[in-house]
């Protein structure tokens, strides 16, 4: 993301909209895959729980799976 767009809540708004759409479609949870280099603290901050981690995939990084139950 461009630095001048950071801090405006765009990512949070996209996450909230994706969760709302999942609920409209009758989903009971969201499971997502990312890499540690991209994850920062964003997912736990939005209520996602880290459920799996594979270190060294790829070399120097880690594969992460997060889960969030939906109401």
pLDDT digits (tens, 9 = 90+) for 12-69: 999 999 999 999 999 999 999 999 998 778 899 999 999 999 999 999 999 999 999 9
Tell me what pLDDT residue 1 has: 59
Q: Which domains does the chain have, with CATH numbers?
A: 3-69 (3.40.630.30)
Instruction: Name the 3-class secondary structure at 56.
Output: coil
Residue 2, pLDDT above cutoff 90: no
| Residue 9 in this model has a pLDDT that exceeds 90 | no
What pLDDT is recorded for position 6? 79
pLDDT score of 11 more than 90: no
* Total Cβ atoms within 10 A of residue 30: 18
């Amino acid at each position: 993301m461009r630095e001048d767009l950071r801090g405006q809540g765009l990512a949070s708004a996209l996450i909230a909209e994706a969760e709302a759409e999942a609920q409209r479609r009758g989903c009971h949870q969201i499971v997502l895959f990312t890499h540690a280099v991209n994850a920062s603290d964003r997912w736990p901050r939005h209520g996602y729980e880290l459920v799996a981690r594979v270190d060294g995939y790829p070399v120097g990084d880690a594969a992460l799976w997060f889960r969030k139950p939906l109401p």
